[in-house]
């Protein structure tokens, strides 16, 4: 649905060249919600502008819905909808009139019907005759999403769709994106909101001028951190004297053939924890518990350590800075 091969965009600024997009090779599948993550200035918006044919590439090639960027620009623009971070609206015109103008530009057959459809879907029908300039940021964002969908594009590009929105408005936008996912649209989301990416995206690409890593959030977690079980032990003061120490129990865990690594941590109350790295906690946790209890351990509970997408993102960014990023 979206494919790039060594896509590049360089800008000449006075006496230096800025590499905004440097050798991007990527494929986004039909019906996928793809998150494009990176810091401000990483080149995410430039990438979107390349893919929707607002600017031309310096080098490399790209295809959108089977059409080549730079060759079929007009056709591509008819196949995509785009929400920019700062959507421009005709502020002195009503919400309905804004949509009708763009529906007409897109060549929509039922202009009034499509405008009404999306005003209702996004909860703006009651404010249809209100000037867009009087709308809150959240309402303006919803109106801009409606505008991007008027011509029923199979591919939707969203650039920071919930940036600056209050929690209620952000939830409305996220819920609507979930609805669009159910319709089989391909959605390309540029964001540095990691919680949003975790909730919405099937796969993510971490990007800073070049693609650092791409996969599902869970696959990236396993790639970077593996899977880890945390065994919470009873504090020494709550147990009998003969209870083994966390260090002794760590040696028991290390003796199991499926255990890769064991770390001991102390709690504020003097209790201990074993952080055990292994491939399949669902299968091996019962064996770990049996071995530890057999050596006299008193276990409060066991859980799997879950690294956040923020942990993944920051680790990838640090590795990239150090020159050791995953590709």
- Looking up residue 167, the CATH number of its domain turns out to be 3.40.50.300
Q: Examine residue 227 and state whether it is found in any structural domain, yes or no.
A: yes
- Shared domain check, 25 and 103: yes
Predicted confidence band of residue 138 (pLDDT cuts 50, 70, 90)? confident
> Which of the listed residues 192, 215, 238 is the one where a domain comes to its end?
215
Q: Examine residue 278 and state whether it is found in any structural domain, yes or no.
A: yes
14 within 8 A of 33, measured Cβ to Cβ = no
Q: Examine residue 322 and state whether it is found in any structural domain, yes or no.
A: no
- Shared domain check, 176 and 91: yes
- pLDDT at position 234 over 90: no
Structure confidence at residue 326 (pLDDT): 37
Structure confidence at residue 324 (pLDDT): 43
Read off the CATH number of the domain in which 251 is found.
3.30.70.980
Number of H helices, E strands in the chain: 11, 14
- Shared domain check, 50 and 34: yes
- Shared domain check, 298 and 198: no
Cα–Cα dist 282/128, whole Å:
53
> Which of the listed residues 184, 215, 246 is the one where a domain comes to its end?
215
- Shared domain check, 192 and 255: no
Structure confidence at residue 325 (pLDDT): 39
Q: Examine residue 200 and state whether it is found in any structural domain, yes or no.
A: yes
- Shared domain check, 237 and 203: no
- Shared domain check, 205 and 84: yes
- pLDDT at position 236 over 70: no
- Shared domain check, 181 and 121: yes
Q: Domain containing 291: what range? A: 223-305
- pLDDT at position 327 over 50: no
Task: Express each pLDDT in 209-225 by its tens digit.
Answer: 999 999 999 899 888 88
Q: Examine residue 313 and state whether it is found in any structural domain, yes or no.
A: no
Cα–Cα dist 197/180, whole Å:
15
Predicted confidence band of residue 268 (pLDDT cuts 50, 70, 90)? low
Q: Examine residue 325 and state whether it is found in any structural domain, yes or no.
A: no
Residue with tokens 């530890």: 292
> Which of the listed residues 172, 196, 215 is the one where a domain comes to its end?
215
- pLDDT at position 227 over 60: yes
**Average pLDDT over all residues of the chain:** 89
- Shared domain check, 138 and 10: yes
Read off φ and ψ for residue 60, nearest 5 degrees: 85, 180
- Shared domain check, 256 and 150: no
Q: Examine residue 177 and state whether it is found in any structural domain, yes or no.
A: yes
Q: Examine residue 326 and state whether it is found in any structural domain, yes or no.
A: no
| pLDDT > 90: percent of the chain | 65
- Shared domain check, 231 and 194: no
Domain tally, the chain: 2
Predicted confidence band of residue 244 (pLDDT cuts 50, 70, 90)? confident
Cα–Cα dist 36/214, whole Å:
9
Q: C-alpha distances in angstroms, 120 versus 29, 90, 106, 145?
A: 29, 20, 20, 12
Calculate mean pLDDT across residues 83-100: 91
Task: Express each pLDDT in 36-75 by its tens digit.
Answer: 999 988 999 999 999 999 999 999 999 999 999 999 999 9
- Shared domain check, 227 and 211: no
- pLDDT at position 321 over 80: no
H or E stretch at 275: strand 272-278
């Amino acid at each position: 649905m979206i494919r790039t091969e060594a896509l590049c965009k360089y800008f000449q600024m006075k006496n230096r060249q800025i590499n905004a997009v440097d050798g991007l090779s990527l494929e986004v599948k039909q019906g996928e919600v793809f998150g494009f993550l990176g810091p401000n200035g990483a080149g995410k918006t430039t990438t979107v502008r390349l893919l929707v044919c607002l600017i031309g590439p310096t080098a490399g090639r790209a295809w959108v819905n089977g059409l080549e960027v730079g060759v079929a620009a007009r056709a591509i623009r008819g196949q995509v909808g785009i929400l920019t971070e700062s959507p421009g609206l005709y502020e002195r015109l009503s919400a309905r009139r804004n949509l009708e103008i763009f529906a007409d530009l897109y060549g929509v057959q039922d202009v009034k019907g499509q405008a009404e459809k999306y005003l209702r879907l996004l909860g703006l029908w009651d404010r249809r005759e209100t000037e867009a300039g009087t709308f809150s940021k959240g309402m303006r964002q919803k109106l801009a999403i409606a505008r991007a969908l008027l011509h029923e594009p199979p591919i939707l590009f969203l650039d920071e769709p919930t940036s600056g929105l209050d929690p209620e408005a952000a939830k409305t936008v996220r819920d609507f994106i979930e609805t669009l996912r159910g319709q089989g649209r391909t959605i390309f989301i540029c964001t540095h909101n990691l919680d949003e990416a975790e909730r919405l995206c099937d796969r993510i690409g971490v990007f800073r001028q070049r693609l650092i890593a791409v996969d599902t959030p869970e696959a990236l977690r396993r790639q970077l951190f593996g899977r880890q079980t945390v065994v919470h032990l009873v504090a020494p003061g709550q147990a009998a004297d003969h209870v083994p120490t966390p260090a002794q129990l760590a040696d028991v865990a290390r003796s199991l053939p499926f255990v890769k690594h064991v770390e001991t941590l102390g709690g504020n109350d003097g209790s201990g924890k074993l952080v055990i790295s292994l491939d399949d906690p669902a299968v091996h946790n019962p064996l770990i518990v049996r071995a530890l209890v057999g050596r006299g351990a008193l276990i409060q509970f066991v859980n799997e350590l879950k690294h956040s997408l923020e942990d993944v993102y920051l680790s990838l960014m640090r590795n990239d800075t150090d020159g050791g990023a995953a590709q």
